[in-house]
């Protein structure tokens, strides 16, 4: 008899590694991570019993070998590129990796009779909000190749359900942030482009300053508003989505956010207050493709999966990010 396991693609990345830890340590699942370690870090896989297979999601031989060796009950799919700017200059890289490569995993699933798939989707599939907060039935009209590369996979998954019964949960993340509160694992992107780590790195003196992209938005303080969601809340949603599918749930999309918007200036003020440091700020032009406000309506995730954010106060998110960045590893693996 083959050992049962959950296959986590991209499990050595930021959100993946936090989820792997929850699946292994809290849910007691056997986890196989498939990661090419281009952006992921093998050191982030800290739980005993997790097996790392170094390889590409698009490599049919590597994927088949996993399905041959284990009884894969479900696939949790993180492996993707996530730089919006890069997706504009190099769209084919994004369509190849985020849209085309996962087809290999879906083919293997069809072949081996695995019918549960949890997908890291994104609020970037909505594009510019027409109504706020964003609910799952808001029109999806992404404004960059990154968002389109994810939306296309959602559509493919819908077709797979119709054709051969593959059921999936599409988790549309808002702004993933924070780190494991024990400081053991965290966010280590190269390059780092996200606001909270950049602000904290500026406080540490690792960066000269933080550039605030635009102060003339139609928001109370003129800077962009985002819905920052803790990485542990995201991880927990994957465990709950797995439970939902194992109980026979049908394909569904769920927003993962707190439902609360926080501005760029507010993040800077909170970071200064929590660390006692000072953020050198430079106000610059708007960044292309940034909507003024993105806030989730998270009620459907609660109704469908029983999930809601536990880290509702962004201070706690910034606090955990600071613990990782100011800890023994200094924010690096």
Q: For residue 249, what is the DSSP state?
A: P
- In degrees and rounded to multiples of 5, residue 136 shows phi and psi of -65, -25
Nearer to ligand UDP, 9 or 175 (CB): 175
Contact call for residue 211 and ligand UDP (CB under 6 A) = yes
Residue whose CB is less far from ligand UDP, 279 or 301:
279
Is 209 near ligand UDP (CB under 6 A)?
no
Size, binding site for ligand UDP by CB under 6 A = 14
Length of the chain: 333
Give the Cβ contact number of residue 130 at 10 Å.
10
Q: Is 33 in the site for ligand UDP (CB under 6 A)?
A: no
185: contact with ligand UDP by CB under 6 A: no
Minimum CB separation of residue 11 from ligand UDP in Å reads 21
Binding segment toward ligand UDP, per CB under 6 A, in 29-37, 53-61, 129-137, 207-215: 207-215
DSSP annotation string for 161-210: HHHH--EEEEEEE-EEE---TTSSS----SS---HHHHHHHHHHTSSS-E
Q: Which is nearer to ligand UDP, 214 or 327 (CB)?
A: 214
Check binding of 195 to ligand UDP (CB under 6 A). yes
Q: Could you say which of 44, 175, 180, 258 contacts ligand UDP (CB under 6 A)?
A: 175
DSSP 7: E
> For ligand UDP, which residue has the nearest CB?
224
- The residues in 260-289 that bind ligand UDP, with binding defined as CB under 6 A, are 264, 287
Q: In the bound complex, what is the minimum distance in angstroms from residue 228's beta carbon to ligand UDP? A: 8
Structure letter (DSSP) for residue 107 = H
Tell me the C-alpha distance between 300 and 172, whole Å.
Answer: 12
Q: Which tokens hold the place of 265?
A: 């200036």
Q: Which of residues 288-307 bind ligand UDP (CB under 6 A)?
A: 290
Residue in 226, 236, 265, 319 binding ligand UDP, rule: CB under 6 A:
226
**φ/ψ bin of 306: left (φ > 0), alpha (ψ from -120 to 50), beta (otherwise):** left
**167 vs 115: CA distance, rounded Å:** 6
Establish whether 146 is a catalytic residue: yes
Question: How far does CA 222 lie from the centroid of its chain?
Answer: 27
Of the residues 81, 94, 146, 173, which is catalytic?
146
The answer for residues whose C-beta is within 8 angstroms of residue 313's C-beta and 6 or more apart is none
Catalytic residues: 146
Kindly list the residues in this chain that would bind ligand UDP in the complex (CB under 6 A). Answer: 175, 193-195, 198, 210-213, 224, 226, 264, 287, 290
């Amino acid at each position: 008899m083959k050992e049962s396991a959950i296959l986590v693609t991209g499990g050595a990345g930021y959100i993946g590694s936090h989820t792997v830890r929850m699946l292994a340590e809290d849910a007691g699942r056997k986890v196989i991570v498939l990661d090419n370690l281009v952006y992921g870090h093998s050191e982030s896989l800290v739980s005993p019993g997790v097996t790392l297979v170094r390889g590409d999601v698009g490599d049919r031989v590597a994927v088949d070998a996993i399905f041959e060796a284990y009884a894969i009950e479900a696939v949790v799919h993180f492996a993707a590129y996530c730089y919006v700017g890069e997706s504009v200059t190099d769209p084919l890289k994004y369509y190849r990796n985020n849209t085309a490569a996962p087809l290999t995993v879906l083919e293997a699933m069809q072949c081996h009779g695995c019918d549960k798939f949890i997908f890291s989707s994104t609020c970037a599939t909505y594009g510019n909000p027409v109504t706020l907060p964003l609910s799952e039935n808001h029109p999806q009209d992404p404004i960059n190749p990154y968002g389109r590369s994810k939306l296309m996979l959602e559509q493919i998954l819908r077709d797979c359900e119709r054709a051969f019964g593959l059921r999936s949960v599409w988790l549309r993340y808002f702004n993933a942030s924070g780190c494991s509160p024990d400081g053991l694992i965290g966010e280590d992107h190269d390059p780092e482009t996200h606001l909270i780590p950049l602000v904290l790195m500026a406080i540490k003196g690792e960066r000269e300053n933080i550039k605030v992209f635009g102060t003339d938005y139609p928001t109370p303080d003129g800077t962009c508003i985002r819905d920052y969601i803790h990485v542990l809340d995201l991880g927990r949603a994957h465990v709950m989505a797995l439970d939902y599918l194992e109980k026979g749930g049908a394909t569904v999309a769920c927003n993962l956010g707190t439902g609360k918007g926080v501005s760029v200036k507010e993040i800077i003020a909170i970071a200064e207050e929590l660390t006692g440091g000072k953020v050198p700020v430079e106000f610059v032009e708007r960044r292309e493709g940034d909507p003024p406000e993105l806030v989730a309506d998270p009620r459907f995730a609660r109704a469908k999966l029983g999930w809601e954010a536990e880290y509702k106060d962004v201070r706690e998110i910034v606090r955990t990010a600071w613990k990782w960045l100011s800890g023994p590893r200094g924010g690096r693996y």
